[in-house]
Amino acid sequence: MPVETRIDEVRQQVDALSITTQTAHELMEQMCKLLHDRMLKYNWVGFYMLEPGSNPPMLVLGTFVGAMTPHTRIPVDQGICGAAAASGHTVVVDDVSKDSRYLACSLETKSEIVVPIFVHGKVVGEIDIDSHFPAAFSGEDKRFVQHCAEVVGKKLEKPAAR
Ligand code: SME
C-alpha cells in the first residue's frame, strides 16, 4: 500500500478514536497502539507530558508502545524532546547519531520526530516517535503526526466532547 494511502486511512482511524474514547488518556493509549501497529516505520510511539508546577520544567513519560526507555523524566533543556517542548516547534531528526541533543533510548533508533501538544495555546506535552530507519519522517509524516497532536490537544481541552 502506498504510504500516502496508509496515512490517510490511519488519519481517519485517529479521528474516529477522538470520538470513541472517553478520556484523553484512553485516546493517547489507543493512538500509540494504532500508530505503532499500522505505521511500519514508527517503532516507538509515546507521549511525554509537562509536569505541572515543576521547576525547572520537566517532561514525564506517559503512555507508550515500544521498548522501555531509560528517559522517564527529561528536563526541557535536554534532548530532542526538550527542544520540541521548549520551542513549541516540531523537531524532525533524520540521523540521531549526528544530533548532539539526542538522548538514546534504543541502539536501533536511527531517526526521530517530536511534535508538541498545545492546550489553549500552551505546550502541555508532546508525541515522540522513533524509527529504526534513517530519515523515516517525510513532510507527509510530519503533517500526520501534527494532526495527531492536535487531536490530543483538543481532547485535553474538552475531555467530555463526544
Ligand atoms: N530521544 C529522545 C529521548 C526519548 S526516547 O527516544 C524515548 C530525546 O532525545 O529527547
Q: What CATH fold (topology level) applies to the domain 3-161?
A: Beta-Lactamase (3.30.450)
Say how many Å lie between the CA of residue 161 and the centre of ligand 1: 32
Give whole-number Cα distances, 118 to 62, 88, 125, in Å: 16, 8, 7
For ligand 1, the distance from its centroid to the CA atom of residue 74, given in whole angstroms, is: 9
* Residue from 81, 110, 129 whose mutation best tests the ligand 1 pocket (most atoms within 8 A of CB): 81
Q: Give the ligand 1 atom nearest the CA of 102.
A: 9
Per-residue pLDDT of the chain (162 residues; tens, 9 = 90+): 666 678 999 999 999 999 999 999 999 999 999 999 999 999 999 999 999 999 999 999 999 999 999 999 999 999 999 999 999 999 999 999 999 999 998 999 999 999 999 999 999 999 999 999 999 999 999 999 999 999 999 999 986 644
> How confident is the model at residue 6, as a pLDDT?
87
pLDDT of residue 5: 73
Q: Distance between CA 156 and CA 150 in Å, rounded? A: 10
Write the CB contacts of 2 (distance below 8 Å, at least 6 apart in sequence): none
Please give the pLDDT value at position 1.
Answer: 66
pLDDT at 30: 98
Burial class of residue 94 in the structure, from the number of CB atoms within 10 Å of its CB (0-12 exposed, 13-18 middle, 19+ buried): middle
Contacts of 27 (CB under 8 A, 6+ apart): 17, 18, 21, 151, 152, 155
Cell of 41: 516505520
pTM recorded for the entire structure: 0.95
SS3 content of the chain, % helix, strand, coil (to 5): 40, 25, 35
Distance of CA 108 to the CA centre of its chain: 18
Strand order in the sheet with 58-65: 73-75, 58-65, 44-50, 122-131, 111-119, 91-93
Q: Is the CB of 91 under 6 A from ligand 1?
A: no
